[in-house]
Amino acid sequence: MEIYKLYLPSFATVVQIPHFYKYNPLILEWIKTTPLSKPDGWNCEVKTTFSREAQAEKNVLNTEPFKELKAQIEECFTLFYSKTFGQVKVPFTVEESWVNVYEKGNYQESHSHIHSLFAGSYYVSAPEGSGALVLEGEGETEKFINPQEGMLVFFEGEMPHRVEKNQSSENRISLSFNIN
Ligand SMILES: [Fe+2]
């Protein structure tokens, strides 16, 4: 587990989730039958299950085939939090989660998740050149994280971040979430 201290008080971590090869084919099948759209308020062409109006009801990690993955994410988050902040028992839960599909040329503009203590992404499909997650620390302290299949990233919700353009001809597929 790599923990980055980007600037006070923001932290981020990167971890490879155990058994990711079990979950990703199930998620890819689920996406085939799930409606995706470009939501209001996003200044990019990414297709997503995110819905500003009904995000709490559309918490994809509460549905099959995501439940086991949700437990893994919460377990990893608890470990990250205890290592970073020195507390062991923390009653955090994933309150919102959504799937994003970046086709060739798609990117996501800079934004933050200001209503969440922590945010994160899990990578279902991340071909080479499909775009780094860029955590925008203060000044010149940007951190470029190249996603890999099965990688899980946590960062503080107030941290501005963006996703570079997908230069690959394959889709970049991520699952994003908010933890409070
Ligand atoms: Fe985000």
| Distance from Cα 54 to the centre of ligand 1, integer Å | 17
What is the whole-number distance in angstroms between the Cα of residue 19 and the centre of ligand 1? 24
Looking at the predicted structure, is the pLDDT value of residue 13 above 90?
no
Phi, psi of 21 (to 5 degrees): -65, -20
- Ligand 1 centroid–CA 91 distance in Å is 22
Tell how far the Cα of 89 is from the centroid of ligand 1, in angstroms.
26
CA gap 116, 84 in Å, rounded: 18
| Partner residues linked to 48 by β-bridges | 37, 100
- Contacts of residue 17, defined as CB under 8 A and 6 or more positions apart, other chains included, come to 69, 72, 73, 76, 122, 150, 151, 152
CATH for the stretch 2-179: 2.60.120.620
* pTM: predicted TM-score of the whole model, two decimal places: 0.91
Q: Are 147 and 130 in contact (CB under 8 A)?
A: yes
pLDDT band at 63 (very low <50, low <70, confident <90, very high): confident
User: How far is ligand 1, taken at its centre, from the CA of residue 111, in Å?
Assistant: 6
**Could you tell me the end-to-end alpha-carbon distance of the chain, in angstroms, rounded to an integer?**
21
87: which 2 tokens? 């507390």
Q: What is the pLDDT of residues 134-149, one digit of tens each?
A: 999 877 778 899 999 9
Rounded to an integer, the average pLDDT of 45-63 is: 78
Higher pLDDT, 69 or 86: 69
Which whole number is the average pLDDT over 109-128?
94
Residue with tokens 């409070």: 180
Residues 6+ apart with CB under 8 A from 102: 46, 108, 130, 131, 163, 166, 171, 172, 173, 174
Task: Write out pLDDT tens, residues 101-117.
Answer: 999 999 999 999 988 99
CA–centroid distance, 51 to ligand 1, in Å, is: 14
Distance 158 CA to ligand 1 centre (A): 10
**C-alpha 90 – ligand 1 centre gap (Å):** 23
